[in-house]
Amino acid sequence: MESKGNIVGIVGLGLIGGSMALKLKQSGFTATVIGTDASSLHAQKALELGIVDKVVAMARVLKQANVIVLAIPVDATKKQLPLVLDALGNKQVVLDVGSTKANIAEAVANHKNRAAYVACHPIAGTENTGPEAAFSDLFTNKVNIICDKQRSSTGALEKVLALTDHLGMRPKFMDSHDHDRHIAYVSHLSHISSFTLGQTVLEVEPSETTIFDMAGSGFESTVRLAKSSPAMWAPIFTENADNIIDVLSAYISNLEKYKAMIKNKNEEALREAMHQTNRIRKVLNDKNPNPNNQFPITNN
Amino acid sequence: MESKGNIVGIVGLGLIGGSMALKLKQSGFTATVIGTDASSLHAQKALELGIVDKVVAMARVLKQANVIVLAIPVDATKKQLPLVLDALGNKQVVLDVGSTKANIAEAVANHKNRAAYVACHPIAGTENTGPEAAFSDLFTNKVNIICDKQRSSTGALEKVLALTDHLGMRPKFMDSHDHDRHIAYVSHLSHISSFTLGQTVLEVEPSETTIFDMAGSGFESTVRLAKSSPAMWAPIFTENADNIIDVLSAYISNLEKYKAMIKNKNEEALREAMHQTNRIRKVLNDKNPNPNNQFPITNN
């Protein structure tokens, strides 16, 4: 796979774009990273932190980079991607990193340069944002989901697989609609449950000291995602609305069942429901399908 | 404060009781820890791990220890505490560590030895259980909530404050009913939201590998508490049922609001709701009231 002589252009120099820039240079995928950001403050900061070699205008990214990464909110990606594809030459590749895939796939489904685009969702992140939050190991041993690979050219796909490998990630191939349905459960629901948990506590707890003093009892980890960026998450929720509404209905229904069990003081049923869910421990700890071989390039 | 010559008797040699045993010995609060557990396997393990010096019958704990810690599920504490108080001499103190306080307070409200009991809730824990999960630093820099302190004798309270100090904890005084209302929001809701999140995902995701591969996207931390012990949590939920039902209703109502905002694709409202909740970052990170002086014995 080709990985010499790449010039990487990052559009959006936040946690994801910034971390990718750092790692792609460190791993030797590229010697030069250029970048752009809608916020000149972010761009300036990224330059100061050595995340990019040069901050340039979008037009220049499109002209100079052969690998272009869109690391911006999903609604912005939907708007920008067709324009990027308009400008692309036949040696260039563009990938995105968004948490919704079907809407973006649809926006470029009939574009003449569709094959130069590889739809990605690297499953990695923290609750922090901006170039200061970037770090080169964010992606290590994580999964990069690549959607609808049959719609990308062999050359574009190979380039992105090499990039995935240099990030220290395992690729996993999925259909974009399947991706959006699965991720609604495993990621988007977690964010909504955490945001509403934080909201509920803040609404009724007037004393911040009380929250702080009691937060050790599990609240701190369950509410972590409520620190996430509204600018990033609001578009994800609306772009994946249909799946998320299904998921929220299932979640609320389970909460109503707990409420009924508690109201009826049905300890036996509560114990059984919790016992069933304890199996998540096994799923999360013991199910690493590839503990000693994290970067197979072929995958189902 | 008296801390020499104590003999500590731990009833329930799990995560909390075991960790307390380790730390109270390490910190010099006691030279001798005896203990008992309903499970002879747990008791044997605790002995092997050096958590207790001796495993004895309950009757012997009551006879030999001057500081008795009930570290058992809240329903068991409610049953055992009156019997312990029946047997107590006037140099002995008993404390519990349960996550509900009003129900236990009520069970001993009119007991002739009520003053020998100090109602505690150390705000510390992990999702793991049993003596193997115990570690001496579990309580370091955390808060020990002491309820209804006016109902305890000065001697008993001083002994428990010394114990709190030796655990590396800060005491915080509360009314037991206030405790139960606050903790329903800050702890019990987190556990139910996490259990139902895990349940919802397990119900619809047939592939454990898919869950695992996507868990990096926030699921892992929000679902952590779903690994918790049903034997411990079922009684907490039913003993604090009234508060928890209020809390669950408020939580479900906020989830319904998110669902409506997503259905209406009201990004502006979503952004605003999330922005409001982002303030939890400040509450959790910046509100440590005592960063450099963690163990004042006097507190509000």
Tell me the domain boundaries of chain B.
6-174, 179-285
What confidence score (pLDDT) does residue B287 get?
45
Closest to B270 in 3D by CA, of B257, B284, B281, B280: B257
H or E, element range at A69:
strand A67-70
Tell me the pLDDT band of B253, cut-offs 50, 70 and 90.
very high
Please tell me the number of Cα atoms within 13 Å of B44 on its side-chain side: 3
Least confident of A102-111, A121-130, B32-41: A121-130
Yes or no: domain B179-285 corresponds to CATH 1.10.3660.10: yes
Exposure b/e, B274-289, CB count within 10 A at least 16 = b: beebbebbebbeebee
Contact list in B for residue A125 (CB cut-off 8 A) is 216-218
- The nearest alpha carbon in chain A to B275 belongs to A230
Tell me the pLDDT band of B207, cut-offs 50, 70 and 90.
confident
Find out whether A125 and A102 touch, Cβ atoms under 8 Å.
no
- Cβ within 8 Å of B, A 247-286: 247-252, 254-256, 258-259, 261-263, 265, 267, 270-284
B198 interfaces chain A, CB cutoff of 8 Å: yes
- Average pLDDT (A85-93) is 96
The span from the CA of B60 to the CA of B169, in Å, is: 29
Instruction: For the beta carbon of residue A260, count every other beta carbon within 10 angstroms.
Output: 12
Contact list in B for residue A239 (CB cut-off 8 A) is none
Three-state secondary-structure class, residue B111: coil
Report pLDDT digits (tens) over A209-261: 888 888 877 898 899 999 999 999 999 999 999 999 999 999 999 999 999 99
> Residue ranges of the alpha helices (H) in A96-175?
102-107, 154-166
Three-state secondary-structure class, residue B172: strand
The yes-or-no answer to whether B6-174 and B179-285 have a common fold is no
Closest CB to A195 among B237, B277, B284 = B277
Residue B233: both structure tokens together: 């949590």
Residue B18: both structure tokens together: 């075991």
Exposure b/e, B129-147, CB count within 10 A at least 16 = b: bbbbbbebebbeebbbbbb
Residue B206 vs residue A124, higher pLDDT: A124
Contact list in B for residue A265 (CB cut-off 8 A) is 238, 241
H or E, element range at B170:
strand B170-174
The span from the CA of B120 to the CA of B139, in Å, is: 13
Three-state secondary-structure class, residue B120: strand
CA dihedral (B13, B14, B19, B24) in degrees, to 10, reads -20
User: Are β-strands B143-147 and B117-122 bridged in parallel, bridged antiparallel, or unpaired?
Assistant: antiparallel
Least confident of A232-241, B11-20, B277-286: B277-286
The span from the CA of B218 to the CA of A194, in Å, is: 10
Contact between B219 and A186 using a beta-carbon 8 Å cutoff:
yes
B208 interfaces chain A, CB cutoff of 8 Å: yes
Instruction: For the beta carbon of residue B7, count every other beta carbon within 10 angstroms.
Output: 17
Closest to B15 in 3D by CA, of B141, B151, B134: B134
Residue B133: both structure tokens together: 């999960």
- The nearest alpha carbon in chain A to B190 belongs to A219
- The nearest alpha carbon in chain A to B289 belongs to A209
The span from the CA of A258 to the CA of A223, in Å, is: 20
**Considering the entire predicted model, what is its pTM?**
0.90
Closest CB to B123 among A208, A216, A273 = A216
The span from the CA of B47 to the CA of B56, in Å, is: 11
**Of A99, A189, A213, which to mutate for an interface test with B (greatest number of B Cβ within 10 Å)?**
A213
Find out whether A99 and A188 touch, Cβ atoms under 8 Å.
yes
- The nearest alpha carbon in chain B to A294 belongs to B213
Contact between B200 and A250 using a beta-carbon 8 Å cutoff:
yes
Contact between A237 and B125 using a beta-carbon 8 Å cutoff:
no
The amino acid at B108: V
Angle at A12 between CA A10 and CA A17, to 5 degrees: 60
Find out whether A134 and A51 touch, Cβ atoms under 8 Å.
yes
What confidence score (pLDDT) does residue A66 get?
98
Residue A223: both structure tokens together: 């509410």
Contact between A287 and B198 using a beta-carbon 8 Å cutoff:
no
Contact between B262 and A245 using a beta-carbon 8 Å cutoff:
yes
Residue A288 to residues A208, A212, A214, B117, B208, Cα–Cα distance (Å): 39, 35, 33, 48, 10
Q: Domain A179-264 carries which CATH code?
A: 1.10.3660.10
Yes or no: domain A6-174 corresponds to CATH 3.40.50.10490: no
Contact between A279 and B241 using a beta-carbon 8 Å cutoff:
no
What confidence score (pLDDT) does residue A4 get?
62
Q: What is the ipTM of this complex?
A: 0.89
User: Are β-strands B54-55 and B30-36 bridged in parallel, bridged antiparallel, or unpaired?
Assistant: parallel
